[in-house]
Amino acid sequence: MTAAIPQNPPFLRPVVADPASVEAAIESRQSIRAYLPTPVPRPLLERLLALASRAPSGTNTQPWKVYVLQGASRDALVQKVCAAHDAVRADPALAEQYRESYDYYPKQWISPYIERRRENGLSLYTLLGIGKGDKDRMHAQWQRNYRFFDAPVGLFVTIDKAMGGGSLLDTGMFLQNLTLAARAHGLDACAQAAWNGYASIVLPHVGAGDNEMLVCGLALGYADPSDPINTFRTPRLPVAAFTTWLE
């Protein structure tokens, strides 16, 4: 039997009027990898970004900077990065030209994280019917990242290189707010570290300054309900697996 969650004492800030909707936005958030071409109105995008900006940040530095790509600017960048991705496949030595600004993933994987990573990749590719040795389809599926999974809106988030590592944490909370606000308005999103290696193409394209570092990209739009890939939902550990209670 689940214990009842106590209500706030009257002298504290009131409970959100509809907490079930807040929880629904959190629980229904997932990384969507296929979108409809339906455009997202600019006023709605501005509202989502305003909500996201309520994220906490150390001493209120608000270190994030956002670039929103739609239409021709989006399509031109997709063409550039897909061409670079194809070129790297043809000549792996070219990969040295495309280095991430920071280590999103560890240089040396350890347990249990490597097992979770492998399970995630295997589950996704099994759903898509892509075998381990099918390099052509694996390449094509990875390149879906650089097409924003057909989402009509692509965003890039940067921070100033002068900022410390805590600004990455702050920006992560901004991104989480953005994805949850999107869900509240019937949209979906997918945060994408895959773009980071191509920062040397992305940053000049969006007009970012030399002082800026790419944190990640993000696809945003209306999910395609007919695409099987959107049935892919990753598991989560139970609270007991990652929590220590001290009294």
Contact assessment for residue 137 and residue 130, using Cβ atoms and an 8 Å cutoff: yes
The answer to whether position 136 is within a domain reads no
Residue 213, domain CATH: 3.40.109.10
Number of domains in the chain: 1
Question: What's the mean per-residue pLDDT of the chain?
Answer: 95
Compute the Cα dihedral for 74, 77, 81, 82 and give only its sign. Answer: positive
- Which band of pLDDT confidence, cut at 50, 70 and 90, is reported for residue 7? low
pLDDT (tens digit per residue) in 115-164: 999 999 999 999 999 998 899 999 999 999 999 999 999 999 999 999 99
pLDDT value for 16: 87
pLDDT of 1 over the 60 cut: no
pTM: 0.93
Range of the domain at 212: 32-95+147-231
Q: Has residue 21 been placed in a domain? A: no
pLDDT digits (tens, 9 = 90+) for 14-68: 888 899 999 999 999 999 999 999 999 999 999 999 999 999 999 999 999 999 9
What would the pLDDT profile of 211-222 be if each residue is shown by its tens digit?
Answer: 999 999 999 999
In this structure, is the dihedral angle defined by the CA atoms of residues 31, 36, 37 and 42, taken in order, positive or negative?
A: negative
Asked if residue 75 belongs to a domain, the reply is yes
Burial class (CB in 10 A: 0-12, 13-18, 19+), 125: middle
Cα angle 156, 28, 34 (rounded to 5 degrees) comes to 55
Name residues whose C-beta falls within 8 Å of residue 36's C-beta, 6 or more positions apart in sequence: 221, 222, 223, 224
- Is 166 inside a domain boundary? yes
Q: Give residue 134's pLDDT.
A: 95
Burial class (CB in 10 A: 0-12, 13-18, 19+), 133: exposed
pLDDT value of position 15: 83
Q: 40 in a domain, yes or no?
A: yes
Whether 68 is covered by a domain: the verdict is yes
Residue 74: inside a domain: yes
